[in-house]
């Protein structure tokens, strides 16, 4: 099979011919039609994921079709249209058993980090990492869009549930122009919220509005907190979702929470920050983290997309051969929404 391989962090991709994978017990092999290219995997190329191992085929947002099964696999059949679940929980702990796989303390290898992922014609995974697509999603005709649903839309969907976003609430998305941010806007709109995009790059303001933001706050301005308060009519945000998570963005976010507000941190810098306990008390505000999505949340998001209620924004689709060029653009923050790589049909 043809595969795009990273031999070490901070190196260029190398297109290689690899032996076709053979599924062992509990595994299956799928033919990949498209694979999403986002910051989560650019972090591996850039050397920001300490636990990734090399050489590695990266990529975990896939649209694919099962082509072979290992011995005694009954959960899937040849021809099933599938996408991928990125994490591998142990399946036996309190968190796995209560539908919180992303919190499993005994995580197995992540797809594209410690086991090979979707930048190849074929992908071999434990059957538990393949999720069947609903019949109404066109995994070939809309391969790029279908591929990215499992992370780019499912991660924001989980935030909607975790932060209990309600219709007509003011939801501010910090880092709104990024790959996840744009999809967070779409999901918050789907939930009936009034969305305020907070974004530093003026080139992405229009995309934020097109995704459904009713107001855009320029994060490079002098008084971001003032602009945010103004955008909420002085009440403060009901929900502040921070994909930047620097000290300053988190402190502005906490300060701009309204009564009963929820501050959600995910991704980004993950820096320490200071929050006034008295403010949390007086407003009964909540500070929370949100991590990826459970398998059920990925399935629910796929079902929403199949019903036509939400749809991902893929603005760039390129052949796998162009991975290097796409990742250079990702590294410079030039991609709007998601990019995806497609594989030639056999």
Residue 89 near Zn ion by CB under 5 A: yes
Residue 258 near Zn ion by CB under 5 A: no
Q: Is 318 left (phi over 0), alpha (psi -120 to 50) or beta?
A: beta
Question: Which is nearer to Zn ion, 285 or 298 (by Cβ)?
Answer: 298
Contacting residue, 41, 82, 84, 96, with Zn ion by CB under 5 A:
96
DSSP string computed for 19-68:
PPP---TTEEEEEEEEEEE-HHHHHHHTT--TT--SSB-----EEEEEEE
Question: Which is nearer to Zn ion, 9 or 109 (by Cβ)?
Answer: 109
CB of 101 to Zn ion, least distance (A): 7
Stretch that binds Zn ion, among 49-57, 94-102, 135-143, 237-245 (CB under 5 A): 94-102
Nearest-angstrom CA–CA distance, 159 and 144: 23
Nearest-angstrom CA–CA distance, 316 and 36: 10
Burial of 79 (0-12, 13-18, 19+ CB in 10 A): exposed
Residue 292 near Zn ion by CB under 5 A: no
Question: Which is nearer to Zn ion, 39 or 298 (by Cβ)?
Answer: 298
Question: Which is nearer to Zn ion, 87 or 273 (by Cβ)?
Answer: 87
Question: Which is nearer to Zn ion, 158 or 200 (by Cβ)?
Answer: 158
CB of 188 to Zn ion, least distance (A): 30
Residue 126 near Zn ion by CB under 5 A: no
CB of 92 to Zn ion, least distance (A): 6
Contacting residue, 15, 46, 93, 287, with Zn ion by CB under 5 A:
93
Nearest-angstrom CA–CA distance, 112 and 124: 11
Residue 44 near Zn ion by CB under 5 A: no
CA 56 to chain centre: 20
Q: List contacts with Zn ion (CB under 5 A).
A: 89-90, 93, 96, 104
């Amino acid at each position: 099979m043809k595969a795009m391989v990273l031999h070490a962090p901070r190196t260029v991709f190398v297109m290689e011919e690899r032996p076709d994978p053979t599924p062992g017990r509990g595994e299956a092999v799928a033919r990949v039609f498209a694979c999403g290219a986002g910051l989560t995997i650019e972090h591996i190329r850039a050397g920001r994921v300490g636990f990734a191992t090399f050489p590695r085929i990266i990529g975990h947002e896939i649209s694919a079709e099962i082509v072979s099964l290992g011995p005694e696999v009954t959960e899937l059949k040849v021809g099933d249209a599938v996408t991928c679940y990125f994490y591998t929980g142990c399946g036996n702990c309190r968190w796995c058993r209560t539908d919180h796989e992303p919190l499993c303390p005994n995580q197995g290898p992540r797809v594209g980090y410690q086991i090979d992922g979707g930048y190849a014609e074929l992908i071999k995974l434990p059957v538990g990492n393949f999720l069947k697509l609903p019949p109404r999603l066109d995994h070939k005709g809309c391969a790029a869009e279908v591929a990215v649903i499992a992370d780019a839309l499912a991660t924001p969907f989980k935030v909607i549930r975790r932060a209990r976003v309600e219709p007509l609430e003011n939801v501010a998305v910090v880092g709104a122009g990024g790959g996840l941010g744009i999809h967070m806007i779409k999901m918050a709109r789907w939930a009936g919220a009034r969305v305020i995009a907070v974004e530093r790059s003026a080139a992405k303001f229009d995309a934020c509005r097109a995704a459904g933001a009713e107001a855009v706050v320029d994060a490079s301005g002098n008084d971001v907190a003032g602009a945010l308060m103004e955008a909420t009519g002085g009440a403060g945000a009901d929900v502040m979702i921070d994909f930047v998570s620097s000290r300053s963005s988190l402190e502005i976010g906490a300060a701009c929470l309204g009564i009963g507000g929820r501050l959600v941190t995910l991704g980004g810098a993950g820096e320490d920050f200071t929050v006034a306990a008295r403010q949390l008390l007086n407003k009964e505000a909540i500070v929370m983290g949100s991590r990826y999505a459970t398998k059920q949340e990925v399935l629910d998001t796929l079902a929403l997309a199949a019903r036509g209620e939400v749809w991902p924004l893929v603005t760039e689709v390129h052949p796998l051969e162009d991975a290097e060029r796409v990742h250079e653009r990702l590294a410079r923050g030039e991609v709007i929404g998601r990019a995806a790589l497609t594989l030639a049909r056999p």
